[in-house]
Amino acid sequence: MRTQVGIVGAGPAGLLLSHLLALAGIDSVVLETRSRAYVEQRVRAGVLEHPTVELLREVGLAERLDREGMPHEGVSLRFEGEDHRIDFADLVGRGITVYGQQEVVKDLIAARLRDGGDLRFEVADVTLDGLADTPVIAYTDADGQRHELRCDVVAGCDGFHGISRGAYAPEMFEREYPYAWLGILAKAAPTHHELVYANHDRGFALYSMRSPEITRLYLQVPPDTDVHDWSDARIWDELGTRLAAEGFTLNEGPVLEKGVTGMRSVVAEPMRHGRLFLAGDAAHIVPPTGAKGMNLAIADVRVLADALTAFLARGDERGVDAYSDTCLRRVWRAEHFSWWMTSMLHVAPDGDAFTRRLQLSQLRYTVSSRAAATSLAENYTGLPYGGVR
C-alpha cells in the first residue's frame, strides 16, 4: 500500500492533520491502535484557545462547536476567599471556548469519513522503518493481517507513550511536579459561568464545566494518591472547602468519572528525524494548569500541514526544514506559561512559608496590575499563529 503521509495516531493532532492535508489535495492514511469508540469517548482537555476555534471554523469543522460550545470571556482567580475576574474580552479582545476534546475528535472523525478519509482503527504491532528517506509503516490490522504502508513522510501523532518518539533519540527536557490532580466528571449543572482557579491553604482546586449539565472539577493531591481513598463525599467536601467564596454555590451530583493525573513538563528536541515529524503529545507535554495541551497539538499540525503541502506538492523544503524550530518557539512559550500558572496556584507539599508568601504576592499583583492581567489573558486565550518569536 502507498500514501503520501502516514499518520500514526487518531487524536486531535493526527485527525486534523489528515483533514488539512486533504483540503490541500494530499493523501494520508491514519492508523490508530484503539477502537473508534474508545477515542471518541476518551475525556481529555476542554478549553479551546481563540486561534484554535478560528482555525476549526476556517476549515469547516465548527458547526457543532458553534452550536454546543460554551464561549468564555474570562476566568476567575480565587484566593484568600475572594474572586478576582480576569476579563479577557476587555484586556485582549478575545476569549476561549469550552468544548471537550472528545467532541473535537468526534467532529474530525465524522468529517474524515464523510470525505472519504482512510482511518484504520484497532491496528497492532506498529513499526517504523526507512525514516531517513523511504518510510515504511508496518502494522497488523483488526483481522490479524500484516500490512506495509509506504509513505513519503510519517507524522507521529501517537502521544507520549506511542512508538514515534522512540523511533529516534531526541534530546529530552523534563520536569516532574510534586503534585497531581484528582479529577471528577459530575452530572451537576454548573453554578458559575466561567472557570475558577482557586489557591487555598489546603491546595489548588479548579472549577470547570463540559456542558450545561456536566461539571469538571479538580483537586491538588500528592502524586502517589490512590483514587480509592477518596470517596465521593470526601471529594465534594474538599471541593466545597477550597472553592468557598461569598455568593458561590457548588452543585453536587453523581460522579461519572474519577481519576488521578500526574503533572509534568516534557519537550523533545528536535521534533523531526529524517522524514518523521512529531506533533502534539508525542513531542511535548505540559501541566494542565495552562490549558495548552490540545491547543499546542493543533498549532503543530497547522504548521506541519503547510510545510508538507509545500514539500509534497512543489518540492519546497523550507517549511519542513523550519518545522521543528517554528513549533518549538510556541511550545516553550506554552511550557513557561503552564509552569508559571502551576507554580503560582499549587501549594508546596512541604509547607514552605516563603514560597507561600511569594504565591500570594504574585496573585495579588496579577489581579491588580492591568499589565500582568493582560499577559495572563494573552497567553491563556492563545497567541496568534505566527506571533511567537
pTM of the model: 0.95
In the chain, residues under CATH classification 3.30.9.10 are 174-263
Domain with CATH 3.50.50.60 in the chain: 5-46+100-170+270-347
Q: What is the CATH number of domain 5-46+100-170+270-347?
A: 3.50.50.60
Structure confidence at residue 350 (pLDDT): 85
In this structure, how many other beta carbons lie within 10 angstroms of the beta carbon of residue 127? 11
Q: What is the pLDDT of residue 45?
A: 76
Residue 387 has what pLDDT? 63
pLDDT reported for residue 385 = 83
- Residue 267 is predicted with a pLDDT of 98
Q: Where are the beta strands (DSSP E) in the chain?
A: 5-8, 28-31, 47-48, 70-72, 74-79, 82-87, 96-98, 118-120, 124-129, 136-140, 146-150, 153-156, 171-186, 196-200, 203-209, 215-221, 255-269, 272-273, 276-278, 284-285
Residue-wise pLDDT tens digits, 327-339 = 999 999 999 999 9
Active-site residues, by number, are 72, 197, 288, 292, 380
| Domain at 174-263, CATH homologous superfamily | D-Amino Acid Oxidase, subunit A, domain 2 (3.30.9.10)
- pLDDT value for 46: 86
Weakly modelled stretches of the chain, pLDDT under 50: none
Q: What is the pLDDT of residue 67?
A: 96
What is residue 233's predicted lDDT score, i.e. its pLDDT? 96
pLDDT in tens, 206-259: 999 988 899 999 999 999 999 999 999 999 999 999 999 999 999 999 999 999
